[in-house]
Chains A and B, each alone.
Chain A
Amino acid sequence: MTSLLKNVISNTQINTQLVRLLHTTSVCCKVQAGRYRITPKKDFPLTYEMANPPHEIAHRKTWNSWNTSNLQGGLRSSETAVEDVFIRKFVSGTWHNLFVSEIIIKRQHNIIRVAGIVHRAINARKVYFLIGYTEELLSFWLQCPVKLELQTVADKKDVIFKYI
């Protein structure tokens, strides 16, 4: 017991000496996620989604994932989040360079609705194929009906909200 006390006392003495050596800085409250820097030429295109930073969610823009898992008492929130990431990756890879908006995932009961705006860069037949392909594979993997509800634009510039 005495040896322990001695140890503690000696440690506190060392600490008082160390305090002087400790260098502290003020807290850096920088947040950069989801925000875009202004370019010198002011020619960087932003969609409406990109133009509004994350703190504007539920004020100027809404969530890209709609489900009940993240509500209080919601079930299988982790599974839903992982599935959403998977859907996003699969859709953006399958529709390579075609989606001009974020991929919106809405869940109602067991249906998953994947929505978004697609650039009309490929012909209609290919679009139909890709819709069927995506729906079929996703519903096979996720074991629930998946619906792809798309809107098309002729030009990528149609979705641009502003340039910074």
Chain B
Amino acid sequence: MILRNLDKKCLLKTLERQFANNYATVTEAAKESREEFKALNLKHVKGQVVQKRAPRKLDVLPPRSKQMATDQDWGNVWPGPRTFHPSTVPLPIRQGYVEKGAPPDKYANAELMKIPNFLHLTPPIIKRQCEALKQFCTPWPKNLNTQEKLIENFPIEVTTSNYCLSSPSIRNPLARIVTLTIKVSSLSLKGAMDKFLRLVGERYNEKTDILTIVADRCPLRKQNYEYAMYLLTAVYHESLKVEPWENLKSEADMEYYNWEKNASKKSIEQIFGKPVEEIPNSKMYAEAVSNLMNEGESDYTIAKYGEAVRTLLNLPKTA
């Protein structure tokens, strides 16, 4: 213990010496002005008059709005978005709620500073900015004046979203999503429509005849756009493919009953001895048969079928 204390003392002494050496120059310089220092007067003993310096008055300019010309250009006064400043805005604005009396005025009103203002976007300024932007715009094509022509010439519609946010990063993961819509009738799919719809599945809307592809699996928008375009091309060409075994498709393999290609048509032609177009009421019969085959047997379809047969063969109607 004793040894330790001794060590500490030695350390302190060396430290003191170092400090003394360091501040030696300072003390010599300060010696000259030593006489100006006053003695510390903690107890306020009489006789020592403490001189109180009069507070210096700050000369403050009058509000800028009072010096403004009435025909000035407001865009030069308030060029960009900025927090409200009462001495710059020459408007008698009030903001706040007081139970009795007028709301607080614009001076020293923090509420006015909080709310976003559009003083930089006055109508003449917007007009001026639009004029300045016009040089970067190209005129709209004259022949593309209707929606139909637009869809006809530009069948693919690509939708993306940009997000404005208040953060140091402008990235938003939702901006990567690309939605591609196309009217299926604008694709030249003749016999391949059925295959195309089977490949596309739920993405096709029957009512509007619009196919929607949403691509969001890649991290960047460009990648997603390219992926969506790739999907469209792949689906199109895949549906156009015809495999050799497809020609082996027999009547039993058909997806739906087509009266024109079936035995029912042939047998009618055989019974009447003339082509279908010349047989009266053959259309009604064809419809009834295909409904019965496609929608399945029900009271309604069977009754319709019976009715069609009776009219076709000129039989009396049942009561």
Please give the residue numbers on chain A whose beta carbons come within 8 Å of chain B beta carbons, in ascending order: 47-49, 52, 59-64, 66-69, 73-76, 79-80, 100-102, 104, 106-110, 113, 115-117, 120, 123-124, 142-144, 149, 151, 153-154, 158-159, 161
Contacts and interface: CB of A to CB of B under 8 A. Distances in A.
B108 A158 contact: yes
A122 B286 CA distance: 99
Given A109-B164, A120-B60, A149-B83, A48 B170 contact: no
Interface string B193-207: 000000000000000
A102 B110 contact: yes
Interface stretch (B70-78, B112-120, B129-137): B112-120
* Interface hub of A62, A69, A74, A108 (most chain B Cβ within 10 A): A62
Interface in B156-193: 164-170, 172, 174
B60 A66 contact: no
B104 interface: yes
A48 B60 CA distance: 25
B170 A109 contact: yes
B161 to A, nearest CB: 12
The B interface is mostly helix, strand or loop, or mixed, namely: loop
B113 A104 contact: yes
Contacts of B85: 149, 151
Nearest to A142: B168
B263 interface: no
A110 B164 CA distance: 10
B16 interface: no
B60 A151 contact: no
A66 B114 contact: yes
B111 interface: yes
A62 B104 CA distance: 15
B209 to A, nearest CB: 33
A143 B156 CA distance: 41
B77 to A, nearest CB: 15
A103 B158 CA distance: 44
A116 B114 contact: no
Contact of B107 (A48, A69, A75, A158): A158
A151 B115 CA distance: 15
Given A49-B110, A68-B167, 12 more contacts: A48-B96, A48-B110, A48-B111, A59-B97, A66-B166, A76-B167, A80-B167, A110-B168, A110-B170, A113-B83, A116-B110, A151-B108
Interface string B86-117: 10000000001100000010011111011110
B108 A75 contact: no
B110 A75 contact: no
Interface in B28-61: 56, 58, 60
A144 B168 contact: yes
A151 B113 contact: yes
